[in-house]
Structure 1
Amino acid sequence: MNRRTTALSAAVALAAALALTGCSSDSDKPELKVSGAFMPQPVMDMAGGFLTITNSSGTADKLTSVTSGLSDDITIHETKNQKMQQVTSFDIPANGELKLERGGSHIMFMELKKQPKQGEKVDIELHFEKSDPIKVTLPVEAPNHNPKQH
C-alpha cells in the first residue's frame, strides 16, 4: 500500500508540474516581427512613420515608444473620428498584429533635425513593454506614398 501511495503522490506531483509549465507560456516573450515600414518624404518639419508589427506568440505586448536620431520629439498617435491624439502605448495582441498606417494609428516625428529625401533611409528603434527593442530602417518614399492604394 505504501508503494501505491508513493506512486500516486508522484503522479499527482507530475500532473501539477505539467499543468504549471502549461501556464508558464504566458511569461514567455512575445515574438515580434516588423514589415511594411516606410516614411513618406516630409514636406514640413514633421513626418509620419508607418509599419506593421506581427506577434506570432501567445503573449500580448505593447509598443510604448519610438526613438530615432531624426528627432528628439517622437510620439505615437491614433486617429479616432478623424482626429489625431497622442497615446502612451499601442496593444499588440497575442497571435495578432498592430498596423500603423495612413489615416490611422502612426508614429509622429516632430521638429526634424534634417529633412530626409525620397530614396534615403531613417533608422528608428521601437520600444516595448515586454520585448527587447527592435531596430527598424524606414525607407523614405514619395510624399503621397500609400501602399493601400497599390
Structure 2
Amino acid sequence: MGPPTAIVTGGLSGIGNALVRHLVSLNWRVVVADINPPRSPCRRRPGRPVQASVCVERAAGFVALNAGVDHGDDVLENLSGDVDRPPSKPDTRPFEVNVTGAFYGIKLAAHYMTVPSTHAGTPKSGGKIIITASGGGIFPIPILAQHTASKHPLIGLV
C-alpha cells in the first residue's frame, strides 16, 4: 500500500505551507492546491503543486479528481484564505474563497472519499476533512474585519 495522500488548499504559504512541509517530512503524498503559482519547482518531493482557484467548483473538482479518484485521498486540509488590504468598497472575495471555497472543497472531497478505491490493490474508502479557520474565526481582528467575518462561518460548520 502506498503512502497516505492529503490535499492541502492554500498550501504554498502560511499555515498551509507549514502543513505541507510536515506531511512531506512524514512521507505523505501531498497535492498542493493554491491560486498562486509555486515560487520554485518542487523537486524530490512527493507533493505536486496544482494551481487552482478554490472558490470555483470546477477547479476544486479538478483537484479532487486528480488526487482522490486515481490515488485515494486520506485527508483534505482546507487552508485557503484571502487576506488583503481593506478595499475602497466592500469586496466579497474573502467570502468566496474562505466560505464558498470551503463548502465546495468539502462537498467534492466527501464525494471522492466515499468512492471505493482499489489503489495499491487494497479496497478503501473514507478519509478525513480538516477545516482550519485560524484565530480570525474566533477572535475579532478589527483591521481585518472581512477576513474575520469570512472565517467565523467555518467554526459553525465544524
TM normalised by structure 1 equals: 0.25
Q: Which has the higher helix share?
A: 2
Q: Counting strand residues as a fraction of each chain, which structure ranks higher?
A: 1
Larger Rg belongs to: 1
TM normalised by structure 2 equals: 0.24
